[in-house]
Amino acid sequence: MAPDTAVSTSPFPTDLSPVAPYDALLLFSFGGPDGPDDVLPFLRNVTAGKNIPDERLAVVAEHYHHFGGASPINGQNLALQKALVDELARRGIELPVVWGNRNWEPYTRDALSAAYADGARRVLALVTSAYSSYSGCRQYRENLWASLDELGVDVGLGQGEHPVAVDKVRSYFNHPGFVQANVDAVTEAFESIGRDARLVFVTHSIPDTMEEASAVSGATYSAQHLDVAATVAAAVGERLGRPVTWDLAYCSRSGPPSQPWLEPDVNDHLTALAADGVQAVVLSPIGFISDHMEVAFDLDTEALETAAELGLVAVRADTVGTREPFVRGLVDLVLERAALARDAEANGPHPVTADVVADAAARRVPEAAVGDLPPYRSVCRPGCCQMRAGTPTGIPAACSTDPWS
Ligand SMILES: CC1=C(CCC(=O)O)c2cc3nc(cc4[nH]c(cc5[nH]c(cc1n2)c(C)c5CCC(=O)O)c(CCC(=O)O)c4C)C(CCC(=O)O)=C3C
Ligand SMILES: [Fe+2]
């Protein structure tokens, strides 16, 4: 117990709004086509400067056309935006929530521009990806920097001068809210399958080079998933009253076949499990927060078809979507990031910007995490999550101690 005379170091002073210094929250997502005419321009946006073969693009365009040319992701982001607004209101917190995307309308720049016109000068970005890697973190931060640059020019500033300052909520893969919502969803899937089953966690594959580069600010992309998977599986086992056997598999590989990506592919893995005598599987898409195209097509269409062909009984667990523990956790993360910002302003750079904060007690603001890994950094390190280790992209990125790395 701290002595009574101790100076209060509460990260949540009562004289300030709990979200100060922020005046807007940016729900920051990938984006997806709204109709058939958007599919090709959207895919061009996504793959600009990437080494994605034309054949792969034609295949992915078909996935979208299979669903009428519209991605489910935009409706899901609107639902999450509404859930965040409701949860903030329930707590009596005033903070407008704007929605912007990297690859489709509403674009990041336009969302920031609207927030700026409404008076916002300090914006907090919440990315719809729970894990850290080039695709899940840095690429969003690069888009943020470019968008802020354009907005600066719009309002009469020069290139490199930003009218709004933006911070980012840390990668939240091991936050208790995200983990709890996954535990609930997987438990429900086991209850619905009503028999013993292998638990197969699934996430987006990435190139091996991107996996290696993801180590700069902490555990790698695959290590982050393995930690969450172990935590979720253990909690589900406790709920069911028996241990659960699990694996991690990958979906949605692209890139040329010559380039190594994380494996096993979920379809290959199901084939191997069936050959081993496994009869039933629960697929848990822990790599994704909503049922967007990777889930709707790569899992619900393709992987479930593979399972059926193999004679496997298979159920796909829900993504966290707008589940209550998840949304509550996101708002907790917003308050935590605001407390970190206030603390940094009052007491100098926060330890989150230092190299190692292994000891939870040494943190001036408590940051919740479950599993074996520490909470992820709120401010990315120089060179964090490049496309490949040791090869700077040369593209500036916001929300880092070194934007130009
Ligand atoms: C790690 C990761 C996430 C999870 C984190 C996060 O959620 O952000 C994610 C999410 C998503 N990926 C999406 C769509 C696409 N991703 C592509 C391509 C790629 N993804 C990659 C990685 C990831 N992607 C990578 C390494 C590539 C290769 C090219 C590159 O380095 O960029 C391509 C091009 C065609 C193809 O190659 O498949 C498309 C169309 C959508 C929208 C879905 C919808 O519309 O509902 C979402 C949410
Ligand atoms: Fe992707």
Please name the residue whose Cα sits nearest to atom 15 of ligand 1: 46
Give the pLDDT score at 348: 75
User: What ligand 1 atom has the least distance to the C-alpha of 128?
Assistant: 7
User: Do 253 and 159 sit in the same domain of this protein?
Assistant: no
What domain range includes position 248?
A: 176-316
293 in the same domain as 199: yes
Question: For the chain, what is the domain count?
Answer: 2
Q: Quick one: 284 and 166 in the same domain? A: no
- 150 and 198 in a single domain? The answer is no
Burial of 262 (0-12, 13-18, 19+ CB in 10 A): buried
**Cα 292 to ligand 1 centre (Å):** 10
Average pLDDT over residues 83-94: 97
360-384 confidence digits (pLDDT tens): 566 678 889 999 998 998 888 888 8
pLDDT band at 391 (very low <50, low <70, confident <90, very high): confident
Measured distance between the N- and C-terminal CA atoms of the chain, rounded to whole angstroms: 43
146 and 83 share one domain? yes
Q: Is 118 part of a structural domain of the chain?
A: yes
> So what's the pLDDT on residue 343?
86
- Better pLDDT: 55 or 201: 201
Residues 163, 181, single domain; the answer is: no
Contact 389, 206 (CB under 8 A): no
Tens of pLDDT, residues 38-51: 999 999 999 988 87
Is there a single domain that holds both residue 54 and residue 43? yes
The residue from 283, 316, 349 where one domain ends is 316
Q: Choose between 367 and 177: higher pLDDT.
A: 177
CATH code (residue 29): 3.40.50.1400
In a domain, 111, yes or no: yes
Q: Is residue 85 part of a domain?
A: yes
Give tens-digit pLDDT for 109-149: 999 999 999 999 999 999 999 999 999 999 999 999 999 99
Give the percent of the chain with pLDDT over 70: 92
pTM, rounded to two decimals = 0.94
How far is the centre of ligand 1, averaged over its atoms, from the C-alpha of 79 (Å)?
A: 21
User: Domain check: are 47 and 125 in the same one?
Assistant: yes
In this prediction, residues 304-330 reach a mean pLDDT of 98
Note whether residue 283 is domain-resident: yes
pLDDT score recorded for residue 10: 47
In a domain, 130, yes or no: yes
Q: Residue 14: inside a domain, yes or no?
A: no
Is 393 a domain residue?
A: no
Q: What is the radius of gyration, based on Cα positions, of the chain?
A: 21
Interval between CA 276 and ligand 1 midpoint (Å): 31
Do 205 and 294 lie in one domain? The reply is yes
> Does position 7 have pLDDT exceeding 50, yes or no?
no
Is 212 within any annotated ligand binding site?
no
Q: What is the pLDDT of residues 193-239, one digit of tens each?
A: 999 999 999 999 999 999 999 998 889 999 999 999 999 999 999 99
Average pLDDT, the chain: 91
Same domain, 108 and 189: no
Q: Which ligand is nearest to the CA of 57?
A: 1
Residue 4 binned pLDDT confidence (cut-offs 50, 70, 90): very low
CA–centroid distance, 206 to ligand 2, in Å, is 9
294 among the known binding-site residues? Answer: yes
Looking at residues 249-277, what average pLDDT do you find? 96
User: Are residues 167 and 194 both part of a single domain?
Assistant: no
Could you say which of 294, 316, 338 is where a domain stops? 316
Which ligand number lies closest to the CA of residue 31? 1
* CB hemisphere CA count around 52 (13 angstroms): 18
Q: Are residues 227 and 122 in the same domain?
A: no
Q: Is residue 373 part of a domain?
A: no
Q: What are the φ/ψ torsions at residue 6 (nearest 5 degrees)?
A: -60, 140
